[in-house]
Structure 1
Amino acid sequence: MKTSSESRAAHEMLVNAFDRDHDDEGGEHSGRWLLSYADLITTMMVLFLALYAMQLAKHREQAIRTQSLAAAPASVARAPAARPRAAESALLASLDPLRERGEITIVPAAHGLEIGINAKLLFNAGDATLLPDSFGVLSRVARVLAQVPDGNILVEGHTDSTPISNARYASNWELSSARAGAVVRYLVERGVEPHRLAAIGRADNFPLVAGTDPASRALNRRVTIVVQY
């Protein structure tokens, strides 16, 4: 049998062995978190460097673009304004006889000109069929518009504030749209490119003058041709 001293010695050897294993294991685990932390710091550093490089590239591109615009010749900057003035002069010269006779009006519009034609010259009351007397004016306008190389042409029908409701037109919306469409068809037949044209019904929402007397209503019944450059 083992003596008590031998038993105590064996017990101490087991305890020491367990402690060594535990210390080794604990030391191994304590080193792992340092590796993970170092990886995280490295990843964040790479991310911040990449963001900084992208920001520098963006600022450089904006600086180059600003310098290019500043260095553009003055003639290039003035070109867009010169072209509309030339086209406007041509229109005014070609249509001036019609304006002098009071058959049309010409006023400046946003990015172009607005040609106004009184509806009395174009249509009978409550109708959207072009009158033969309007063909001379519309043909002259169509020839001028066909010579303008590009730009949108918006044909807008306007009525007075008197409500309308008959078998053909339920309201002034339908009447004004039909009148604009009739003028558009005529312009296309006279050589104006269809893709440049648009027919718009305005009803009585944009009166030329205020008032409900016969003279005011007559002025508000009109078709306008907005030529955009």
Structure 2
Amino acid sequence: MADDKDQPIIIKKKKGGGHGHHGGAWKIAYADFVTAMMAFFLVLWIVGLDVKTRNGLAEYFANPGAFKIDYRSSPYIMKTDGRPPVMNDKVEQASRAEANIDVAEAEALAGRIRSAASADSNIRSARSGFDVKIKQDGLAVEFSENAKGALFIPGTAELKPEGRQLLQAVVPTLLSSKRGLSVRAFAAKRPTGERYGAWEISTDRANSVRRALSNAGMPPDRLVKVESSGDRVPKLPDDLGNVVNDRIILHIPFETE
């Protein structure tokens, strides 16, 4: 008994650890808030874009597989080989309306240009690659080449007589629109090392068309721009060497004030 009285009595006390753990619910709420703010500012950014860029962005998310990433120059938000994003009919019609394109005037002029080009049966060969399209930013009168040459003698910047006559045939109708005109020349890909390459031939052909238009009565002040794109904007991107990529486009802007 004496031994039991001599043993010390030990009392253990647990100290409180402060406030208990409340879990990670606040992290989920904060993540939702940050996501909502990001979406909000993304909407503000899209609203501030110009019409052409918004349409390209919408078409990208509608059909992302149609856009091939490339590092060549392109005015669009997605890299698309320098070509405008492909749009279906509904998207393109909405784009024209939103961009204030005078569709009625453009369609009327397109019809008159087609009639003028088809009036002379002697220039049928030059019309093989002829087309008139209403684009988002205006009217495009396109002259594509073929293996035998439509506008030009193959491999040169010299206009064939039929090609010169075709340009002369459409000039009076182009003048009736009272709008400016741009000449754009494109070329198929040439073999590496060829001295007369895509840039040279497209530049020379653009100037040949400019001179032909001037000789046919086009006033100098109506020509807004003459430009060459070499082989950078092919019509057939999967067949860069195809002669169809050799083409001239007369562009007439149709944006209303």
Length-normalised TM-score, structure 2: 0.50
Q: Select 1:186's aligned residue among 185, 190, 212.
A: 212
Q: CA RMSD in A?
A: 2.6
1:102 is displaced (CA, Å) by 4.1
SS in 2 for 1:105: strand
Distance 2:105 2:218 in 1: 16
1:224 aligns with 2:224: no
Structure number, greater radius of gyration? 1
Q: Select 2:185's aligned residue among 133, 138, 157.
A: 157
SS in 1 for 2:150: helix
1:185 is displaced (CA, Å) by 1.0
1:179 is displaced (CA, Å) by 0.2
SS in 2 for 1:145: helix
Matched AA of 2:239: T
Distance 2:183 2:141 in 1: 9
Q: Per-residue displacement from partner, 1:144-176 (whole Å, max 9, x unpaired)?
A: 1111112x311111111123634xx4x311210
1:96 is displaced (CA, Å) by 2.5
SS in 2 for 1:141: helix
1:205 aligns with 2:227: no
Aligned counterpart, 2:151: 122
SS in 1 for 2:242: helix
Length-normalised TM-score, structure 1: 0.55
> Number of matched residues?
144
1:112 aligns with 2:138: yes
1:92 aligns with 2:110: yes
Q: Per-residue displacement from partner, 1:171-207 (whole Å, max 9, x unpaired)?
A: 3112101101111111112122212312111110111
Aligned counterpart, 2:173: 144
1:108 is displaced (CA, Å) by 2.3
Aligned counterpart, 2:66: none
Segments ≥4 residues shifted beyond 2 Å: 84-87, 95-103, 108-111, 163-166, 210-213
For the structure 1 residues 81 and 210, does the alpha-carbon distance in structure 2 shift closer, same or farther, using more than 3 Å as the test? Answer: closer
**Structure 2 unaligned blocks of 5 or more:** 1-96, 119-123
Q: Is the 8 A contact 1:113 1:228 kept in 2?
A: yes
Distance 2:247 2:144 in 1: 4
Distance 1:137 1:118 in 2: 13
Distance 2:104 2:187 in 1: 33
Q: Is the 8 A contact 1:123 1:129 kept in 2?
A: yes
